[in-house]
Structure 1
Amino acid sequence: MKVPHLKLGTKIAILSFILVLLSVVLAGVVIVNRISSKMEQEIGHRAMAISRTVAQLQEVQENLNKQEGSKWIQPLAERIRIATGVEYIVIFNMERMRYSHPYLDRIGTVFNDGDEGPSLERKEYLSQAVGVMGPSIRAFVPVLTDEGTRQVGVVAVGILVPTIRDIVGTLRIQLYSSLLVGLALGIIGSFYLARNIKKNMFSLEPNEIARILEERVAIFQAMDEGVVALDIENRITVINDKAYRIAGINRKVLGVRLDDLEVLCVLADLLEANGSSETTELLLNQTWVLINFLKVKVNDQIVGHVITIKDKTEVRKMAEELTGVKTFIEALRVQNHESLNKLHTISGLIQLNKAQEAMDYVYKVTEEQQEVTRFLSHKVKHPSVAGLLLGKYNRGKELKVDVFFEQDSCLGELPETLDANSLTIILGNLLENAMEAVVGKALCEVHCRIKQEETELILSIEDTGGGITPENQAKIFQWGFSTKGTGNRGIGLPLVKQTIERLGGTLDLESGSWGTRFGVKIPLNYSPKF
């Protein structure tokens, strides 16, 4: 038989109801037992008081050992029994011979119930026993004469003890009422509790919560960057496999404070120092990484932080790829735009019936373009670098900037340690910055020199712009800093510097009112750092 699947609210309601029911029943049992114990105590006191009173009667003391003493003792004991409402009063002498009993046929017989022994030794006490009339509490009191110096018998007074059923029968109205009220309150409270818990859980079932948690963990693990989530006390609550690999952590660290980990304690210092979302470059576990700190807010209250860790090598590879693609796309766009302008010029001259001027213009443009193309194809052997330089030359034409390639420039086959993407990043960004620096100036020139020697590659980019102020020379290589306004700026020169450093090269900057020159030297036998 298939067990039906119950919702969380139903399970909580049933469990709460069962707990309330058990609590009410247990409380009832405890109350009945306490009442029974209290009644037994009161019955014992009452039986002991009656026994002491009977033992003090002169008629009992004088007639106890007489042969026909029962004629005097039995009527007296019965009158007291009926008056006090006890079940029986039994008086016997030292030979255990009964002188009184509710049943007349037992008078003159021996009292031998087994619990009367201590009373024959002048001791008074209470005893519980099951007699002929049922379970009872009996009080045994010795009968003393001659001013208490001689014992002549014992008085035993028995009072029946009410059973649990008798007590429940007596209190059934109160007990049943309490039970019903308790169960009603329990049912109402159970459904309210279940509803409140379900509300706090966003009306989700446990299996739904488990599925969401599994999906969240899977998403964290699938991310291509390290993620470390912290609570308000900087304890790690979530960390994905990528963060484990980058930091080189080989043990579970959930619940551990960030500053208690030797590898990640530097992150705790950075978080305490600023806690901002700015990108920070850091050497972590012998790997250069980019760190971001993000605040986690719930209801406008900061409840923790999230740290993202990106491997700088992977970021660099992506930037190189994107930069190369962008460069060639820009070159094609500029060439297309320049070609359209030339075609429009030729078309206009023909429409004006100036065929000779059109021919001269075609010859001039073709000769100029072919001259640059021949120079680059002859001097620069790598096609992607030559394409970049040709694209920047056409880009300069569009911006009304004269781009000159020094005649002694040359670039042969590149060694395996120096990839073309790195060169396109360096040359592309430096040439673009140089052209932007001279736009609108009286003299708009950019000079480019590429010289490959036996042991090193020398690059020189010089412009005739207004130069860079000394205070900005120290800032232009910082991420996000730019003198050209906000937006997608402040990336090119930092990327150039990082690429040069990765290749083991040097970057020199000279600037003044005459313009700016960037000098780059890259060794050809250096193994790049990744």
Structure 2
Amino acid sequence: MRSPRFITRVLLLQLLVVAVVTAVFTGILSWVTVQHLRGEAEASALAIARAVATDPEVRRAVAGASDGAAPEVAEEVLRGRAGDVAESTGALFIVITDAEGLRLAHPDPERLREQVSTEFRPVLEGREVVAWETGTLGESARAKVPVRDPEGGEPVGMVSVGFARSGVYASLRGQLAWTAGAATLALLIGALAALVFRGRWERSTLGLQPEELVALVQNQEAVLNGVAEGVVAVDEAGTIRLANDVAVELLGVGELQGRAVTDPALPQPVARLLRSGGQQGRRDHVVVGDRVLYLDCRPVQRDGRVLGSVVVLRDRTDILELTERLDSVRTMTSALRVQRHEFANRIHVAAGLLDAGQVEEAREFLRTLERRGAVDYPLVDADLIDDPFLRSFLGLKSLEAAERGVRMQVGGDTLLLDELRDPEDAATVLGNLLDNAVRAAAPGSGWVEVTLLQSGGDLVLTVTDSGPGIGEGVDVFARRPQEGRAVHGHGIGLPLVRELTRRRGGDVWVIDRGGSPGQGAVVGARIPGVLGEGGRVGGESVPGGGGVR
């Protein structure tokens, strides 16, 4: 049999607690009421007994009866006096006795001159007694007071005044009815409060039971701290309610939990996505500091109710850097393949000339091969570059540019005295800048010029194109939204290479936005520590190197 839901058990427990508390307080109130009524009856009986016992006429009559003088006269006086007081006070009885406990006044004449049925000796010793006792007239609250001799003050009798139990508790039924009504009202209020609490609980916990909430928290902690991605949860009001350590590290703005998505400290591209509320599962990529982040934002719903959104952040910086470097490696691989194929063809030509006995022609062919290289790239002024890696890399880029109808040339100011010792970063930055310049140059008649200079061990380069230039207010280093595209593509390369060079201590910047006829943008870059420390001139080393200072 399925056990009741937790909230149902809580409701029943609340009702039980309310019922128990109400019953306890009702019992206490009833007990206090009974004690109050008993106390009032005892106090009234004692006051009446004292009044009768101190009456001079009663004292003389009792003293005379105790001395044996005319008991009939004393009985007549005392019975009349007791009857009048009982009638005026509503007492059940007023009994007066002599020093032997014999009745001198009693509501039943047949009981006269009989000894009282309850204890009377302590009273004749001079003490007042108040108690609930059962006598010949039934149970009653009674007070017994000694009657003292008018002359000597010694007890010579007693007065006993009693109120019937039924009379004492006559008003108790009405008071208990009011108490029961109040208790019932308290139970109804408690039940209503419990129902309201149940509804509020169900809405606040989305109907989840405590054991489900515990499992949810455990799973949440395991998932959030067990994944390499950053996770940020935003509620309906636009407040970040949850963020794991990875998200805090990726965004780099300190504690995220409790921040509003409008907080200016948040990176604006991330804030815009968070404010979107995960509509239709938005995905985007942003550059935050020196990181390229892929963001996947999705709404969170339960039972048709939108609870907020969850954003997953993935750091794609290393992947993109590796992609850029693989592109440069792929470029160099293609260049080497072309060179090998072309060199094999030319060696075959030289061998053919020798086999044909045309030694002078073969010698001239080899001199040309030595001077111009193994491959004739469409790179203008390629002779200005002695570094084999850069020459091959730029040569292949010039082939790609030629396929687009763009001419690539080396600037006349190019001067490098050392060879590359870290070609990967140099190829990544240079390749990206050249690709952007080729895309910007006008096909058919466009051109791209690259100038390479050396400053110590730093490579300083400029890339100029014949495109329309960069418009005012356009930040080419800011990611440009490309809806529906993958992470790798337009809008990411420039921010990435700038961060790459900045991490090495260099930079990439726009020298001239261009826009004049025949002159496009000019972009510069400084890549520290990618050139060898020793210079060379004409193939000989120059201590300390040389270069543009």
Q: What's the TM-score once normalised by structure 2's chain length?
A: 0.59
Counterpart contact for 2:99–2:124, Cα < 8 Å: no
Q: Does 1:438 align with 2:459?
A: no
**Counterparts of 1:463-482 in structure 2 under 5 Å?**
463-468=465-470, 471-472=472-473, 476-480=475-479
Deviation at 1:439, TM superposition (A): 2.0
**Counterparts of 1:77-226 in structure 2 under 5 Å?**
86=91, 88-92=93-97, 99-100=104-105, 105-107=114-116, 111-113=120-122, 117=126, 119=128, 127-128=130-131, 130=133, 137-139=141-143, 154-159=158-163, 161=165, 190=194, 193-194=197-198, 197-224=201-228
Q: Which residue of 2 aligns with 1:277?
A: 272
> Which digits, 9 at most, give the CA deviation of each residue in 1:81-119, with x for residues without a partner?
985764553435679876456866425998234798455
Which whole-Å CA distance do the structure 2 matches of 1:273 and 1:447 have between them?
36
Counterpart contact for 1:405–1:447, Cα < 8 Å: yes
Deviation at 1:320, TM superposition (A): 0.6
> Which digits, 9 at most, give the CA deviation of each residue in 1:4-58, with x for residues without a partner?
8442133123202212321331242133124313422442454256436644767
Which whole-Å CA distance do the structure 1 matches of 2:3 and 2:417 have between them?
75
Counterpart contact for 1:97–1:111, Cα < 8 Å: no
Counterpart contact for 1:36–1:167, Cα < 8 Å: no
Which whole-Å CA distance do the structure 2 matches of 1:272 and 1:318 have between them?
21
Give the SS at the match of 1:270: coil
> Which digits, 9 at most, give the CA deviation of each residue in 1:318-362, with x for residues without a partner?
3212334567789999xxxxxxxxxxxxxxxxxxxxxxxxxxxxx
Deviation at 1:71, TM superposition (A): 4.1
Deviation at 1:431, TM superposition (A): 0.8
Letter in 2 for 1:156: S
Q: Which residue of 2 aligns with 1:361?
A: none
Deviation at 1:371, TM superposition (A): 2.3
Q: Percent identity?
A: 23
- Corresponding residue to 1:455 among 443, 457, 475: 457
Unaligned runs of 5+ residues in structure 2 are 274-285, 302-306, 335-371, 532-549
- Corresponding residue to 1:241 among 245, 263, 269: 245
Letter in 1 for 2:60: E
Which whole-Å CA distance do the structure 1 matches of 2:120 and 2:25 have between them?
42
Give the SS at the match of 2:527: strand
Letter in 1 for 2:49: S
Deviation at 1:64, TM superposition (A): 0.3
Distance 1:496 1:214, change over 3 A: same
Counterpart contact for 1:476–1:494, Cα < 8 Å: no
CA RMSD of superposed structures (Å): 6.2
Counterpart contact for 2:123–2:145, Cα < 8 Å: no
Unaligned runs of 5+ residues in structure 1 are 120-125, 260-266, 334-366
> Which digits, 9 at most, give the CA deviation of each residue in 1:253-301, with x for residues without a partner?
899x889xxxxxxx9763699994386856xxxx989899x9x999xxx
- Corresponding residue to 2:525 among 520, 523, 526: 520
Give the SS at the match of 1:215: helix
Q: Which residue of 2 aligns with 1:492?
A: 493
Q: Which residue of 1 aligns with 2:547?
A: none
Q: What's the TM-score once normalised by structure 1's chain length?
A: 0.61
Q: Which residue of 2 aligns with 1:28?
A: 26
Counterpart contact for 1:97–1:110, Cα < 8 Å: no
Q: Which residue of 1 aligns with 2:11?
A: 13
Which whole-Å CA distance do the structure 1 matches of 2:93 and 2:267 have between them?
88
- Corresponding residue to 2:402 among 369, 392, 397: 397
Counterpart contact for 1:87–1:159, Cα < 8 Å: yes
Give the SS at the match of 2:265: helix
Deviation at 1:232, TM superposition (A): 11
Which whole-Å CA distance do the structure 2 matches of 1:435 and 1:254 have between them?
42
Give the SS at the match of 2:448: strand
Which whole-Å CA distance do the structure 2 matches of 1:307 and 1:139 have between them?
86
Distance 1:169 1:395, change over 3 A: same
- Corresponding residue to 2:37 among 30, 36, 39: 39
Q: Which residue of 1 aligns with 2:59?
A: 61
Counterpart contact for 1:229–1:306, Cα < 8 Å: yes
Letter in 2 for 1:111: F
Counterpart contact for 2:423–2:530, Cα < 8 Å: no
Which whole-Å CA distance do the structure 1 matches of 2:423 and 2:530 have between them?
12
Distance 1:461 1:228, change over 3 A: same
Distance 1:326 1:22, change over 3 A: farther
**Counterparts of 1:410-449 in structure 2 under 5 Å?**
414-415=420-421, 418=422, 420=424, 422-440=425-443, 443-449=445-451
Letter in 2 for 1:211: A
Give the SS at the match of 1:479: coil
> Which digits, 9 at most, give the CA deviation of each residue in 1:107-158, with x for residues without a partner?
5998234798455xxxxxx8345566887543456658979x9986542313
Is the radius of gyration larger for structure 1 or structure 2?
Answer: 2
Counterpart contact for 2:411–2:449, Cα < 8 Å: yes
Counterpart contact for 2:34–2:172, Cα < 8 Å: no
Letter in 1 for 2:458: E
Which whole-Å CA distance do the structure 1 matches of 2:179 and 2:146 have between them?
42
Counterpart contact for 1:40–1:137, Cα < 8 Å: yes
Which whole-Å CA distance do the structure 1 matches of 2:167 and 2:378 have between them?
118
Give the SS at the match of 1:426: helix
Distance 1:47 1:274, change over 3 A: farther
Counterpart contact for 2:465–2:521, Cα < 8 Å: yes
Letter in 2 for 1:395: E
> Which digits, 9 at most, give the CA deviation of each residue in 1:183-206, with x for residues without a partner?
678667756653553344322211
Deviation at 1:433, TM superposition (A): 1.6
Counterpart contact for 1:47–1:139, Cα < 8 Å: yes
Deviation at 1:466, TM superposition (A): 3.7
Which whole-Å CA distance do the structure 1 matches of 2:430 and 2:267 have between them?
39
Deviation at 1:307, TM superposition (A): 10
Q: Which residue of 2 aligns with 1:343?
A: none
Deviating more after overlay: 322-331 vs 15-24: 322-331
